[in-house]
Structure 1
Amino acid sequence: MDRWLRGFGLASLVANVGIVVTGGAVRLTKSGLGCPTWPRCTDESYTTTPEMGIHGIIEFGNRLLTFVVIAIAIAALLAAVLERPRRRRLVTLGLVTLLGIPLQGVIGGITVLTNLNPWVVGLHFLGSIFVITTAYLFWRRTVDRPVSSAPPRPLRHLAWITTLVSLAVVIVGVIVTGAGPHSGDGGAKRNHLDPELISQLHVDLVMLLIGLSVALYFAARIAGAPTRPAIILIVVELSQSVIGFVQYFTHLPVLLVGAHMLGACLVWIATLHALHATRSPDNA
């Protein structure tokens, strides 16, 4: 049962990251209104029609993937319920992850009904970040070993500060996207913010995040705590920064924008990993 539990937990995490990438593909191929209404694909049909072309297929395909992600989340939750002895926190995380997925579907439907309003689209991405968080914590609890001693309080505080800045980077990155050219449909509105100004704020926050991550590495080393999570976080951040730098100066090609969306999820997961490494025995 432990093997199944870990497997379903990891599959749920991967699936929730994957649907972010496929959702990005919907936007980057201008298929955001491929199904122009919700919950149906057209006023008369729940499925795409030949007249809707490739955009309808892409949008409807992404909607169908939601059911795959839900199925995996159900399997993970059932494995947690059947585990003996049952861990209440694990079951709670599995349930929250499962409930978060259809809620995300509703927010996705609202994005269609509001003609891809950039603020609603941004909320949709942040909802995915929330579900990825609970899916990560679920999987993490299936592979963790007991913690014997509490980390130094300053290290824990630094990890939390790093996490909050990482979240700010994600949020501002979403706002940058809302000001950019990839709206998901040729007629969709943008948020009318200055792209250069908001991009500069995003870069400033990224630099702060990298600095905090380096500080977290040295703090963990001095405290005798594991340094590998901080190293992973720094490597992922630098890789994501390179992608962001190149995409900005090459005028946002769709493949790099898609890679940057995936990178945002990986940065957040690496941040959670670094924070989790400083957990106390009570929170293990």
Structure 2
Amino acid sequence: MTSDTSNAPAGSRSGARPSSTDDAPRPLTGPWRFVPGFGRPTARFVHRWAIALLISNVGIVATGGAVRVTGSGLGCPTWPRCTDESFVPHGELGVHGAIEFGNRMLTWVLIVIAIATWIAVLRFAGSARRDKWLVTLIALGIPFQGVIGGITVLTQLNPWVVALHFLLSMALVSAAAVLVFRMRPYPAPNAPEAADSDAPPTATRRLGIYLAWLVYLVTWMAIYLGTVVTGSGPHAGDADAPRNGLDPDNATQLHADAVFALVGLSIAALVYARVFARPQQRSAVVFMLLLLLQGLIGFVQFATDLPIALVIAHMFGSAVLLIGATWQLLVAQNSVAKNPDPAETATKKADPLRESA
């Protein structure tokens, strides 16, 4: 591993990983030589584990939504045990206890996947320092997320704590999407080659990054306001759980306003990418389609009094939408890092002292 790779910024690692890094022989010593794939991890092997980590984080969001909308949030009335006497539910807790306990068990599956991904990334010869820090933070965030989940139970599903629990899950989803992007074994999208005179200036290319950042941040705003709507609505996770006291109609309107702003920014980002033929064209189109589908689900669930299936689909869609916003931002940053302004490059070559100054 070279120093320039380990210290490269997240957006600068574009293109396929060099074969010398991907296939560099490493001595198979220690117990890992007996574990298939982990003795000498390849780029594709690590990338698949990163994808598995992302999918499992999205899955836990969906199952958490199922716990909430079925009123099973207090199916296990305490934490870390299910009851004061047992770690597992008993017959008196009924189906709600089984649903809540099942969701808790899925957290252990997620932990196993996170540990496997962490080991794969750390043992991979092509991993940069930032990759190792990122996967470590994700792995540590999962048990921390479990603790927040336990606090939601101990606070009798306080809506603000429940919102924090959901937002942390979404943060892990976004971080896992970054890991998938960074560990990809294939070239990243890149702008078509053009003559220096035809290449857009740096200010124009950075506009794409600013738009992508705005899309990403407003996506987070819409997701947060969605938790406020949920905290004021009927799906409290338990019949006796408290609500946040806000008017559901006003909270819904505020959430809708954020979505409308997100639609406008998404259109601007898409038009920019198309006009200037930027690499994020595809990711901008995909994000726009995801946003329209998510908006449709949200409108239908509101008009049909929040049926369980649509609420779960809307929570799942929020996670997928955040992945789309994260990916669009990463592609935009990567395109500028890989394609510096020709005028600036020529200036640095002509006057190397200026760059060092």
Same-fold status (TM-score > 0.5): yes
Report TM bin, short chain. over 0.9
CA drift of 1:78 comes to: 0.7
1:262 corresponding residue in structure 2 = 316
CA drift of 1:153 comes to: 1.1
1:74 corresponding residue in structure 2 = 115
1:272 corresponding residue in structure 2 = 326
1:214 corresponding residue in structure 2 = 267
Tell me which amino acid in the other structure corresponds to 2:311.
V
How far apart in 1 are the matches of 2:189 and 2:229? 40
SS at match of 2:183: helix
The percent identity for this pair of structures is 47
Q: In the TM superposition, what whole-angstrom CA distance separates every residue of 1:209-241 from its partner, at most 9, and x where no partner exists?
A: 011111101111222212110000000000001
Distance 1:236 1:148, change over 3 A: closer
2:198 aligned with 1:145? no
How far apart in 2 are the matches of 1:50 and 1:196? 39
CA drift of 1:282 comes to: 8.7
2:298 aligned with 1:228? no
How far apart in 1 are the matches of 2:81 and 2:207? 52
Which stretches in structure 1 are left out of the alignment for 5+ residues?
none
RMSD: 1.6
How far apart in 1 are the matches of 2:137 and 2:109? 17
How far apart in 2 are the matches of 1:36 and 1:123? 19
1:239 corresponding residue in structure 2 = 293
- Choose 1 or 2 for highest CA Rg: 2
Distance 1:82 1:180, change over 3 A: same
Does structure 2 conserve the Cα–Cα contact (< 8 Å) formed by 1:39 and 1:46? yes
CA drift of 1:106 comes to: 0.4
Matches within 5 A, 1:166-181: 166-181=219-234
Q: In the TM superposition, what whole-angstrom CA distance separates every residue of 1:73-126 from its partner, at most 9, and x where no partner exists?
A: 111111111111332111111111101100100000000000000000000000
Give TM-score scaled by structure 1 length. Answer: 0.96
Which stretches in structure 2 are left out of the alignment for 5+ residues?
1-41, 192-201, 339-357
Distance 1:148 1:248, change over 3 A: closer
Does structure 2 conserve the Cα–Cα contact (< 8 Å) formed by 1:80 and 1:87? no
Give TM-score scaled by structure 2 length. Answer: 0.77
Question: Where do 4+ consecutive residues of structure 1 move more than 6 Å?
Answer: 146-151, 281-284
SS at match of 1:39: coil
Q: In the TM superposition, what whole-angstrom CA distance separates every residue of 1:137-193 from its partner, at most 9, and x where no partner exists?
A: 111111163687878111111111111111100000010000000000000010010
How far apart in 1 are the matches of 2:302 and 2:310? 9
Does structure 1 conserve the Cα–Cα contact (< 8 Å) formed by 2:74 and 2:237? yes
SS at match of 2:97: helix
Does structure 2 conserve the Cα–Cα contact (< 8 Å) formed by 1:5 and 1:76? yes
Count of aligned residue pairs for this structure pair:
284
SS at match of 1:42: coil
1:90 corresponding residue in structure 2 = 131
Does structure 1 conserve the Cα–Cα contact (< 8 Å) formed by 2:188 and 2:331? no
Distance 1:249 1:160, change over 3 A: same
2:37 corresponding residue in structure 1 = none
How far apart in 2 are the matches of 1:156 and 1:222? 15
Tell me which amino acid in the other structure corresponds to 2:309.
L
Tell me which amino acid in the other structure corresponds to 2:219.
S
2:218 aligned with 1:165? yes
